[in-house]
A = this chain, B = another copy of it.
Amino acid sequence: MLPNLSFLIFSILFVASNAAVQDFCVANLKGPDTPSGYACKDPAKVTTDDFVFKGLAKAGNTSNIIKAAVTPAFVEQFPGVNGLGISAARLDLAPRGVVPMHTHPGATEYLVVVQGKITAGFISSANKVYVKTLNKGDSMIFPTGLLHFQLSATGVTSVALVFFSSASPGLQITDFALFGNDLPTPLVAETTFLDPKTIKTLKGVLGGTG
């Protein structure tokens, strides 16, 4: 039979409580941000809800020009992932929907189709193209920083879950970067070989100026 462990409990818990901060570092989004992530929320105030995110349950609104929606669960939406090297997003693609050519500057993406059928691909530094049409349950991986895209490959709505190797993967959509800001048209023309007229048209559509 075991005697009462109260002596042990107090001496060991002393250690354990001091070590607690290393398990996780829920982001205090109002605290300072650093190169390794946000400052940590006081562990005494952390609750289960800090580790749970309900925002991926609902379909994004695909009533837009790309017939697609991306719902992120990055550190800003889900502070529990801060410092843990992982985050997620939900991707909804109506028929003919498309996630345009883009990169995540700081993370690899792992995609799983959970509904429908999606054509996805990426282009390597060696300029080789890797494209595949994925069925429900299929996975595809897009290495860090490379241009990639996803398109609906079916007449019904498709859904994918995507995961990133960083709590803050970033997102740079090529069209927005080129045509959706104030980068002067001559600069865009010189650095992309597109003609000014095409650029100006796209700037008009995507909200760019200059």
Contact = CB atoms under 8 A, between A and B. Distances in A.
Contacts of A166: 22
Contacts of A95: none
A168 B22 contact: yes
Contacts of A11: 60-61, 64, 69-70
- The 7 A-B pairs at the shortest CB distance, nearest first, are namely A57-B137, A105-B145, A35-B83, A22-B168, A20-B126, A7-B64, A36-B36
Given A19-B168, A151-B191, A51 B141 contact: yes
Given A32-B31, A74-B18, A78-B139, A125 B5 contact: no
A23 B126 contact: yes
18 contacts: A2-B205, A3-B65, A9-B176, A19-B72, A19-B126, A23-B105, A28-B32, A35-B40, A35-B83, A36-B83, A47-B130, A86-B110, A87-B110, A100-B191, A103-B145, A129-B181, A174-B174, A195-B198
**Interface extent on A, as a size class?**
35 or more
Interface of A: 2-9, 11-13, 15-25, 28, 31-40, 43, 47-49, 51-54, 56-58, 60-61, 63-66, 69-70, 72-74, 76-78, 80-88, 98, 100-101, 103-106, 108, 110, 112, 114, 119, 121-132, 134-147, 149, 151, 161, 163-166, 168-178, 180-183, 187, 190-195, 198, 201-202, 205-207
Given A78-B139, A86-B108, A72 B23 contact: no
Residue from A112, A131, A140 with most neighbouring chain B CB atoms (10 Å): A112
Given A11-B61, A15-B72, A205-B193, A137 B54 contact: yes
A207 B16 CA distance: 15
A123 B170 CA distance: 12
